[in-house]
Amino acid sequence: MEIIEKAPAKINLGLDVLYKREDGYHELEMVMASVDLADRLTIEELPEDQIIIETNKAFLPVDKRNNVYQAAQLLKERYGIKKGVKIAIQKQIPVAAGLGGGSSDTAAALRGMNRLWNLGLSTEELIEIGVKIGTDVPYCLYGTTSFIGGKGEVVAPIRPIPSCWVVLVKPRISVSTRTVFPKVDVEKIHHPNIAALKAAVAAGDYKQMVANMGNSLEDITIERHPIIQQIKDRMMKYGADVALMSGSGPTCFALCQKQSRAQRIYNALKGFCDEVYLVRTLN
């Protein structure tokens, strides 16, 4: 039996860091949406008790360092599964880009193995496993526009954001989330109004949504990588309704209601950065 799962990229419409928790994580408030740039996972059962991960990106680990490998191991241990599994990951989402590719792959693997082994686990049960691997995994298990709280484990779906075009631009640098959060000073960072953003999304009000978007981590990453600000400036210059960094970066995205504007931004940035994508939001 072969199961195929899509793993869409996510963007942060809003990200606020409230404080550092006693467990070492930061308390977050976020609004996330998914876009139609996606990895593709092919999941097959093996008769021998082993986990095999394959990927089209040679630099990605395929052993215990891989999040999908960890997901398979956790699921097998928890439910006493003696069969093996082979998971082939066809990567399209840029790596270490702030687009949640690894988390989305993990979520897709959990969904797929749940079906493969007829475990009948609810989304909440999968979240309990997924959050042990990555804090964006719970959102990716839902995959629909949501408010996210806690360290990422609190997910409350809102409604799909008003349909629009998205231009994603990843500069030729990678940013590890682990290097950004230690630099967070909650007294100094910008705090976007997540409550107003959430209300705007719930009301389907595109204009108010755009007005209230923001990312607490932007200034920290921009200080180390000024190209992010240059990308945002170019996006606005060529007609973006809003331009923002996603997650801890370095990918920036522009939202446009008009396809012609999105196409213009795409064309303008294509020569500036190698990885530029023109996509839609997912409903």
152 is in an annotated binding site: no
The pLDDT tens digits of the residues spanning 138-191 come to 999 999 999 999 999 999 999 999 999 999 999 999 888 888 888 999 999 999
pLDDT digits (tens, 9 = 90+) for 101-111: 999 999 999 99
Pick the CATH number of 165-280 from 3.30.70.890, 3.10.20.30, 3.90.1150.10, 3.20.20.70: 3.30.70.890
Q: Are 120 and 84 in contact (CB under 8 A)?
A: no
**Annotation says 136 is catalytic:** yes
Determine the average pLDDT of the residues in 235-264.
97
Please tell me if the domain spanning 2-157 has the same topology as the one spanning 165-280.
no
pLDDT bin (cut points 50, 70, 90) of residue 255 is very high
102 annotated ligand-binding residue: yes
121 touches 82 (CB < 8 A): no
pLDDT for position 161: 94
9 is in an annotated binding site: no
Task: Kindly list the domain boundaries of the chain, sorted by start residue.
Answer: 2-157, 165-280
181-209 per-position pLDDT tens digit: 889 999 999 999 999 999 999 999 999 99
Active-site hit among 16, 105, 136, 241: 136
Q: Is 95 annotated as a binding residue?
A: yes
Q: Which fold has domain 2-157?
A: Ribosomal Protein S5; domain 2 (3.30.230)
| pLDDT of res. 273 | 93
